Structure 1
Amino acid sequence: MIRRGSFILVTLLLAYNIKEANSQLEAIRDFIQINIAGVPVLHQQSQWEFDPDISLKRRALWEEVNGIKGEKLIDRLGLGMDGKEAERREQHRIKDNGHLGGLNYFQP
């Protein structure tokens, strides 16, 4: 009877160790796949329609609306967008009157 009990115990321990080994192997496989090889989604092929000349067209439009280096955009953002832009623009002109580029530092 002892042999039978020992056999069952050894069988259960081996089954547990095999499950434990499988989970350890799966953990190692997942680690390698995620950190070294990358997630499988990264290896899927994708297609993008790309027009290299569209940027030239959009740049011209952007410069027309916002200025060459965005000076019109900065001005619009600085004045706010609540309907009082003209009032604030006049306040800025009065405040900046006599300043060279808005700074007193360069004044003689």
Structure 2
Amino acid sequence: AVKTEAMLTEAGPTRDIMSWGHDGMPPALRMTKGRPYAARLKNRLDEPTTIHWHGLRIDNRMDGVPFVTQPYIYTGDSFDYAFTPPDAGTYWYHPHCNTL
């Protein structure tokens, strides 16, 4: 997780957006149904964050809803997400930050 800039409009770059990619767009993640998946989130933001996975039926401890299913990942810390996707499909993920 980093702050970066991206061309969101024709007016010029938007600075200090939070992303998991350095070009303003988070990477597409490819997983295989029934095969273990693992990713480490290193928080380089100046606020806590998590990853929330929409639609994936995974263990709550990996689901990234602060203070409900997973603790925050604070600045400078990291968290290892590990799960086995049980379903095929197209899903999306996003951060949960500053949600209080």
Q: TM-score, normalised by structure 2?
A: 0.17
Higher RCO by CA contacts (8 Å cutoff, separation 6 or greater): 2
More helix by share: 1
More strand by share: 2
Q: TM-score, normalised by structure 1?
A: 0.16
Decide which structure has the larger Cα Rg and report it: 1
